[in-house]
Structure 1
Amino acid sequence: MFPVPTSFDACRVGPCIKRFLELHGYCGHHTINTVGILTDVPPYILEALSSTGINLCHAPHGTSDIMLLMSQWISKNPPPANILGICDTRSFPPPLSGYNLFRPFSYSSPEEDAFLWESSLLTAGGVC
């Protein structure tokens, strides 16, 4: 639901997300997973994302796949831990005890969320 904008270098996505997290006080090791129907994404974008350390997770069944992947991540990462969710609210787990769920925008509308994804998170205060 939040593709790499056509005018944006996909190799910059990982560094921009990390910088965005640092600007919001989340320092240390970061693991970035992208989850979605990856067959719809051009191979050159997948290669660029992967080259920056982003894990690619194909989820052809949508929300059910996303929830399964989240459950697997949670089982490997006990609290305290932080989770940044860039997804619609249906794909995001309910609040979990011991986890800080960070949502960078309100998810009020797909258009507004896409704008915020491109304008705030991917620019990380102008750094990226």
Structure 2
Amino acid sequence: MKNAFRRFMANRYGWDELNTLLFIASFLLRLAGSHYGNGYWSRGALVLLFMVLFRAYSRERGKRRKENGAFLNAIRPLRRLMRRLKDVRHYRYVHCPSCNKTARLPRGAGKVKVTCPYCHFVYERRV
């Protein structure tokens, strides 16, 4: 049975971040449908679940990879914001006066000499 499943999944796309989001959205729509008693929520959840299965078992790996890449590019600013919120207790983000790029400095270090990793401009900052 294990070998049969392995043969079936050969050259299939599998699971990625977009599938995870679609699956969670399907689950939440299903919960909303059961709470509100409206069939439209459950139908929407079913459509999303079919999309997840279609993407997971698809043999067009290039297309699925492009879809996932576009999704990851779309949520990149959100991930960056989440990282900043997570690091706010330990790091301070400062902007370079020359190129306006952002650098991450440890909090509580006092006055430090900062070298911009992009333009190599040297400036002093209190953190």
Compute the TM-score of the two structures, normalised by the length of structure 2: 0.25
Rg larger in structure: 2
Which structure's residues are more often helix, by fraction? 2
